[in-house]
Structure 1
Amino acid sequence: MSDPQTEETRRIVKRFTLDCEQDFPLTDPSDEGWKDRLWELFEELVHPDIILHGVPGLKQGSRPWYDRFVSVGANFPDGLTTIDVLTAEGDKATMVWTWEATHRREVMGSPPTGKKVKVQAVMVQRVENGKIVEHWVGFDSLRWLEQLGLVSGDISAIGKGHAVN
């Protein structure tokens, strides 16, 4: 049986991940209430001074991270995350998740294509006093950019036949 800190960490990280999508898919894009509900979740579970690792171009803190969630939610209004693996030990949880969505609005200069995108990521979050205080993420950004049409070519050949030391 795991200790109380481990169980609290697992519960908070799982709840945050799943509840971020409580309003998805967005059936009425004109309903802005989802943003308020998302911010309430951030206020409850994310420390205002959260340290973010692996989120390029994003300032530290809960507000910039929330703004990124809002942008992604608006651009991919049917986005849904599947938790593939979730483990916790003490104050840290590690999660492998898969996110699927439809490209509905312009992203990084790419007009909406209506295509489905699917990415997988590995995330570690540290919880302290009931709030997520640190977040690491790594995801297959090249595959995501390829699915959006922002890079072209066969990226599946990258790295094949090369030894990694």
Structure 2
Amino acid sequence: MATEQENNKRRLLEMAERCIVGGDLDAVDEYFTPDFWSIAVQHPEPGAEGEKRQVREILASFSEVEYIYTDLVAVDDRVAGRATFRAVHTGEYAGIKPTGARVETIGIDVNRFVDGKIAEHWGCYDDTPIIQQIKAAAEQS
């Protein structure tokens, strides 16, 4: 039988695949508590609705999205890991028109779970590599 920590790690991986990669906004409610909050610059709006807005923004700017968690560690009600974001720039992002550039950046996530859902998120992501990659592609066009 799986432990709570193993279940939370599985839920985090499922969430990334269904919501971020797959763009299934209806599934967001299955993975986030209604009062979910995030301490991340890219995530200013609280609640599951804020997560849906963020996913919509990602998918409006990028296609062929990959969101890969590695080095997941679960302790008590928290799951932490390194996340790699890869995608193709196919919509406006940071005021830059689509370039078709493949982009990649990494970040660190810590998520607190309540009853199998993400209730809190602390994230550290750097958009600078993405902006540098799409600016370089725009300059080459």
Give the gaps of 5 or more residues in structure 2. Answer: 137-141
Change beyond 3 A, Cα 1:51–1:40: same
Give the gaps of 5 or more residues in structure 1. Answer: 24-33, 151-165
Q: Deviations over 1:47-80 (max 9, x none)?
A: 1110111134621111022111111112112111
Q: Quick check: 98-107 or 13-22, which moved more? A: 13-22
RMSD: 2.1
Q: Quote how far apart the aligned CAs of 1:119 are.
A: 0.5
Larger radius of gyration: 1
Identity of aligned residues (%): 24
2:62 to 76, 81, 92: 76
Higher helix share: 2
Is the 8 Å Cα contact of residues 21 and 65 (structure 2) preserved in structure 1?
A: no
What CA distance in whole angstroms lies between the structure 2 residues aligned with 1:133 and 1:57? 14
Query: For this pair of structures, how many residues does the alignment match?
Result: 136
User: What amino acid is the match of 2:8?
Assistant: T
Runs of 4+ in 1 over 4 A off after TM superposition: none
Structure 2 residue 51 is matched with structure 1 residue 65: yes
1:156 maps to what in 2? none
Q: Quote how far apart the aligned CAs of 1:134 are.
A: 0.3
1:29 maps to what in 2? none
Q: Quote how far apart the aligned CAs of 1:21 are.
A: 4.5
Higher strand share: 2
Change beyond 3 A, Cα 1:22–1:102: closer
How high is the TM-score relative to the length of structure 1? 0.74
Change beyond 3 A, Cα 1:128–1:120: same
Structure 2 residue 40 is matched with structure 1 residue 41: no
User: What amino acid is the match of 2:41?
Assistant: V
2:40 to 42, 54, 65: 54
How high is the TM-score relative to the length of structure 2? 0.86
Is the 8 Å Cα contact of residues 79 and 99 (structure 1) preserved in structure 2?
A: yes
What CA distance in whole angstroms lies between the structure 2 residues aligned with 1:21 and 1:86? 18
2:90 maps to what in 1? 104
1:128 to 108, 114, 118: 114
User: What amino acid is the match of 1:96?
Assistant: R
2:139 maps to what in 1? none
Change beyond 3 A, Cα 1:107–1:51: same
What CA distance in whole angstroms lies between the structure 1 residues aligned with 2:103 and 2:21? 20
User: What amino acid is the match of 2:27?
Assistant: L
